[in-house]
Amino acid sequence: MVMKVIIKRTLEETLRISAIILVIVAGIAGGYIVGKNLTFVEVPTYAEFANKSLIMQHLVIFFLMNGAILMGIVSSVCSGLIAGEVHEGTIRILVSKPNSRGAILRGKIIGMLLGCFILMMLGLSVFYLAETLFGSFDGSVMKDLLSYYPAYILYGLIVILFFSSLATLLSCLVRKKVIALLPMMFLVIAVLAIPVIVRIVLGMTGREEYPSDLFYLADLNYQFGSLFHWCCNLCGGINGTSGQLSIPAALLNIFKSFKLDPDITHKMNTTMIMTNNFIPKTVLLGVYGALTVINYLISFVLMSRKDV
């Protein structure tokens, strides 16, 4: 009974009006960006138009819906799961009752996960609705766009589980929410922005590759981009011409360009795009899955010993 109360309370805190409005506004904005920007694009074939539409949709989902919005909400909610209660003193009330600390944390995690999943589904649904309203896609293209819905949900779940586990761990380590939130905000920036800026700077200096392959170990944008690519591959992959794929190659680093032999007929493109598999996607999935489990296990250990 007590756990149900904790789950309900945490769910209500996660589904705040401000979070719901933010998700809806982001969904409308994302759908508008994809729909309007492609309405007047002229391409010679249906396949090229469909691929161009999908690539833009993938990028909006990765950077906005399941990126800045979802990562930000999960980080904000989870950073205060325990630290917020400790700072406000309400954790003492929960612990003073006949509740085990493990049950308290389980209830909070379950409520948070349910709330974040609902917000993710709401955002994706609004995004697709706005995309349909603002765009002028025919039935076939819209069917292609909708076919990646399961991939976006799967990637969103990966984001929710990993970010929530790390933020929960930080929340159990510190006594104030803001202290736990700051590293999470830096992590969001490290996934969505910093590596992209570094690659742009390297490109401006004439470098098309990292000085060392070790940079991939710190390139969180590439790692999460590869996880996103893995999810999309389950629904058909990310396809397009060399020119179209050069955009996700630059922004996610999931593709690499190779110069073709100059003796090849000029009628062919001079570059070829191939998937960047420096770190196998299954390895990344296993590593982040293991980190998620470890983070949660450590959180329960810390919670059992926490001085409130």
Extract the residue ranges of the chain whose pLDDT is less than 50.
87, 89, 265-267
pLDDT at 38: 65
- Measured CA to CA, the distance from residue 55 to residue 258 in angstroms comes to 20
Q: 79, 188 in Cβ contact below 8 A? A: no
The residue whose two tokens read 């995004």 is 127
| pLDDT at residue number 304 | 86
d(Cα 288, Cα 273) in Å, to the nearest integer?
Answer: 27
Backbone angles phi, psi at 214, to 5 degrees: -65, -20
- How many CA within 13 A on the CB side of residue 237? 7
pLDDT of residue 265: 47
**pTM beyond 0.95, yes or no:** no
3-state per-residue secondary structure call for the chain: CHHHHHHHHHHHHHCCHHHHHHHHHHHHHHHHHHHHHHHCCCCCCHHHHHHHHHHHHHHHHHHHHHHHHHHHHHHHHHHCCCHHHHHHCHHHHHHHCCCCHHHHHHHHHHHHHHHHHHHHHHHHHHHHHHHHHHCCCCHHHHHHHHCCHHHHHHHHHHHHHHHHHHHHHHHHHCCCHHHHHHHHHHHHHHHHCHHHHHHHHHHHCCCCCCCCCCHHHHCHHHHHHHHHHHHHHCCCCCCCCHHHHHHHHHHHCCEEEEECCCCCCCCCCCEEEEECCCCCHHHHHHHHHHHHHHHHHHHHHHHHHCCC
Q: Please return the burial class of 298, using the count of CB atoms within 10 Å of its CB with bins 0-12, 13-18 and 19+.
A: middle
Q: Output the furthest CA–CA distance in the chain (Å, rounded).
A: 78
- Chain Cα centroid distance, residue 268: 36
CA-CA distance, 15 to 66, in Å (whole number)?
17
